[in-house]
Structure 1
Amino acid sequence: MKAAVLFTGGKDSTYATYLSLKRGLEVKYLITMFPKNPYSWMFHSVNIEATKLQAEAMGIKQIIRQTPGEKESELRDLKEAIEGVRKEIEGIVSGSISSSYQKNRIDLIARELGLVSLSPLWGSNPIEILYKMTKTGFEIIITSVSAQGFDQSWLGRRIDEGTIEDLEKLSKKYGINPSGEGGEYESFVLDAPLFKKRIEAVNVEKIWTGTNGYLLIKEAKFVEK
């Protein structure tokens, strides 16, 4: 099956891409939405420009589509982006794990366009998924935080066993989603088994407002693996 992946540069969409390729899908495109609204209901807004490096590292053509990021109009923008490649694909892949809001809307768009909606992570335990990612060789950093329990020290932190344990503690204490699917945090993948080269962030800036913030990747480069 030929498919396009809804790609944010974060851990879930990258892992969904990895699993899709491993299961024999032909990933023709990465579709990345670039919301002007940092509080988009559907899409990441941090470090979208840097996702171009990830697409190049994977050798998959990327389509970046700007959207105001408003609750319903962003879905129309997503549908239009998918329609642009509709004749070349049979399925659309997303990294949804437990967000019915996201999955239901992606499923609806897929049905309207006559495509199969694929969610290889759906229903997975978020903690188990994080361990699988790290054990598989994913190098992931946290690029934004916006929930109780997080502070500035989380920005740029690598997701490893210790980080996963701390996320589990925050989940039990504050009720956050350990996968960050509720917007609690966002991530960026620097390396993965499907990357031909590793990405190194050589110039970053932490933006902190007192209760939330993000890590801006101002410059990055490829490093041979």
Structure 2
Amino acid sequence: MSKNAAVLWTGGKDCALAFYKSQLEGHNIKLLVTFTPKNPVFKAHSLALIKLQAKAIDLPHLSIVIDQPIRDSYQKNISLLKQQHHIDVLITGDIDQIDNHNNWIEDCCKPSGMLVHKPLWKLERESILDQLISNNFEVIFSLVKKDLDLTDFLGHRITTDQIDQLKKNKNIDLCGENGAYHTMTLNAPFFTKKIVLTSTIKEDNEYAYLCIQSTKLEEK
């Protein structure tokens, strides 16, 4: 019997592709989980949109507030996922190490014995984006760093043309790993409905981002 799994869900391309690949591998995905700080302010993807994605996927979503000290809070809540929700495996869309540090989620899972599955780990960046396109994911750019000249990408779907443009800028990780950009998933093969939204663009000193005006679910 396959183990019960939860996907660490942030609303963007990486967790969506991790869900898809894990589902194809036979993982029994029961739950979407989002770890949030107290009083979160999400510019790249709001908690309301994440909850709508869960409805589109037709899975329960659990939002977990992380307190101080952060590591203790992660460890405690991961243990509760195992005890109260009978989750055996956490699926994450992590791609690579950040600043050569160990994987945070793996470290936090060790005390409880929670397993971690990372289907995108160390994959070629372009391969990840190509898989999104070839499997007909609808993923749009939701936030970009202003100094990287990507504002025109906001609200647009990831396409081969945009990948080619990203490749021309050697200062940008193709998958946005260093915060160059963030994305929202509006449709994927495992969505039962697709998300349609209207938005405007806002800016602060560092970022340009989508400000969502309205959302709805539509038949695919």
Deviations 1:102-131 (A, max 9, x none): 861111112111011110000101111101
Counterpart in 1 of 2:128? 129
2:88 alignment partner AA? E
Among 203, 220, 223, the alignment partner of 2:215 is 220
Return closer, same or farther for 1:30/1:103 CA change in 2, 3 Å cut-off. farther
Does the CA-based 8 Å contact 2:75-2:111 persist in structure 1?
Answer: no
Return closer, same or farther for 1:47/1:215 CA change in 2, 3 Å cut-off. same
1:78 aligns with 2:82: no
1:6 alignment partner AA? L
Counterpart in 2 of 1:89? 87
Does the CA-based 8 Å contact 1:142-1:156 persist in structure 2?
Answer: yes
Q: After superposition, where does 1:45-84 map in structure 2 within 5 Å?
A: 46-67=45-66, 73-84=69-80
SS of 2:90 mapped into structure 1: strand
Counterpart in 2 of 1:185? 181
Return closer, same or farther for 1:15/1:103 CA change in 2, 3 Å cut-off. farther
SS of 2:103 mapped into structure 1: helix
Long gaps (5+) in structure 2: none
Question: Matches of 2:54 and 2:137 in 1, distance apart?
Answer: 15
Counterpart in 1 of 2:145? 146
Moved more, 99-108 or 130-139: 99-108
1:126 alignment partner AA? R
Question: Matches of 2:102 and 2:53 in 1, distance apart?
Answer: 24
Does the CA-based 8 Å contact 1:127-1:168 persist in structure 2?
Answer: no
Counterpart in 2 of 1:99? 97
Q: CA deviation at 1:49?
A: 1.5
Question: Matches of 1:37 and 1:132 in 2, distance apart?
Answer: 31
Does the CA-based 8 Å contact 1:8-1:32 persist in structure 2?
Answer: yes
Among 1, 14, 19, the alignment partner of 2:21 is 19
| TM-score normalised by L of structure 1 | 0.86
Q: CA deviation at 1:23?
A: 0.7
Question: Matches of 1:153 and 1:73 in 2, distance apart?
Answer: 39
Moved more, 114-123 or 154-163: 154-163
Question: Matches of 1:61 and 1:183 in 2, distance apart?
Answer: 28
Return closer, same or farther for 1:168/1:48 CA change in 2, 3 Å cut-off. farther
Question: Matches of 1:94 and 1:115 in 2, distance apart?
Answer: 13
Moved more, 29-38 or 125-134: 29-38
Question: Matches of 2:130 and 2:102 in 1, distance apart?
Answer: 23
Identity of aligned residues (%): 30
Question: Matches of 1:96 and 1:24 in 2, distance apart?
Answer: 19
Q: CA deviation at 1:137?
A: 1.1
Moved more, 45-54 or 146-155: 146-155
The aligned length equals 214
Q: CA deviation at 1:151?
A: 3.8
Does the CA-based 8 Å contact 1:126-1:179 persist in structure 2?
Answer: yes
Return closer, same or farther for 1:103/1:55 CA change in 2, 3 Å cut-off. farther
What RMSD, in angstroms, separates the aligned Cα atoms of the two structures?
2.2
Does the CA-based 8 Å contact 1:151-1:211 persist in structure 2?
Answer: no
Counterpart in 2 of 1:204? 199
